[in-house]
A and B are shown apart, each in its own frame.
Chain A
Amino acid sequence: QVQLVESGGGVVQPGKSLRLSCAGSGFTFRNYGMHWVRQAPGQGLEWVTVISYDGDKKWYADAVKGRFTISRDNSKNTLYLQMNRLRAEDTAVYYCAKDSRSGSGGSYSYGMDVWGQGTTVTVSS
């Protein structure tokens, strides 16, 4: 079955960096756009970024633009999120999620269908 497993979360000081990973299995990873979505404690969902199926196109939320970078390695079926200059307001559970249609993530998205279980990032001194 389709599965996404995130890793790399932890406690980090403000201004530091962290890299999250998401391993996909059970589907043809290279065919789908992939997203990161986060959820601050007790809050709703916030879309963070998406990368197209081929890695050529990326979109970011304003809150993370210039600090976070999404990337993927289709040979390893793995998605990444490099988070730099972290702030307290970046504290959240970070979910990776697969776009629901193949060929997506470039000029369009159909939203997410399958989500990972999430990895927790805490930014605190």
Chain B
Amino acid sequence: DTTLTQSPAFMSATPGDIVTISCKASQGIDDDVNWYQQKPGEAPVFIIEEATTLVPGVPPRFSGSGYGTEFTLTIHNMESEDAAFYFCLQHDKFPLTFGQGTKLEIK
């Protein structure tokens, strides 16, 4: 199975900051990584597909990068509404696996 190691587990940022979240795969998975945002009590929301493609309707301050084993979610000019949990998912092989998640809080 492919393990995704996500870091940091927790971070705190100020509005206007640049935020980066890392997701490292235990084996090469091409660009088969999606990113999701989840707020408390809500279902996850799809924000990045195929490592780098912004899902329609998602603010352009969100971006994704990476290929193979290392992937990054970046939030430029962070806003208070971005406080949430963020998860990466690999869909290269079954079983699909998620990273452990990153909790992003506002300072």
Question: Does A46 sit within 8 A of B, measured CB to CB?
Answer: yes
Q: What is the interface of chain B mostly: helix, strand, loop, or mixed? A: loop
- Would B95 and A47 count as touching, CB distance under 8 A? yes
Question: Counting chain A CB atoms within 10 Å of each CB, which of B46, B55, B100 scores highest?
Answer: B46
Among residues 24 to 53 in chain B, which have CB atoms less than 8 Å away from a CB atom of chain A?
Answer: 32, 34, 36, 38, 42-46, 49-50
Q: CA–CA, A46 to B87, complex, Å?
A: 11
- Would A109 and B94 count as touching, CB distance under 8 A? yes
- Would B87 and A45 count as touching, CB distance under 8 A? yes
Question: Does B91 sit within 8 A of A, measured CB to CB?
Answer: yes
Chain B: residues with Cβ within 8 Å of the partner, total of 24
- Would A100 and B46 count as touching, CB distance under 8 A? yes
Closest to B9 in A: A44
- Would B43 and A45 count as touching, CB distance under 8 A? no
Closest to B33 in A: A111
List of B residues within 8 angstroms of A27 by Cβ: none
List of A residues within 8 angstroms of B34 by Cβ: 100, 110-112
Residue from the list A47, A100, A115 in contact with B49, Cβ < 8 A: A100
CB distance from A19 to the nearest CB of B (A): 21
Chain A: residues with Cβ within 8 Å of the partner, total of 23
Known: A45-B87, A100-B49. A111 touches B96 (CB 8 A): yes
- Would B91 and A95 count as touching, CB distance under 8 A? no
- Would B95 and A61 count as touching, CB distance under 8 A? yes
Known: A111-B91, A117-B43. A44 touches B100 (CB 8 A): yes
Q: CA–CA, A35 to B25, complex, Å?
A: 22
The interface of chain A, by Cβ under 8 A from chain B, is 35, 44-47, 50, 59-62, 95, 100, 108-118
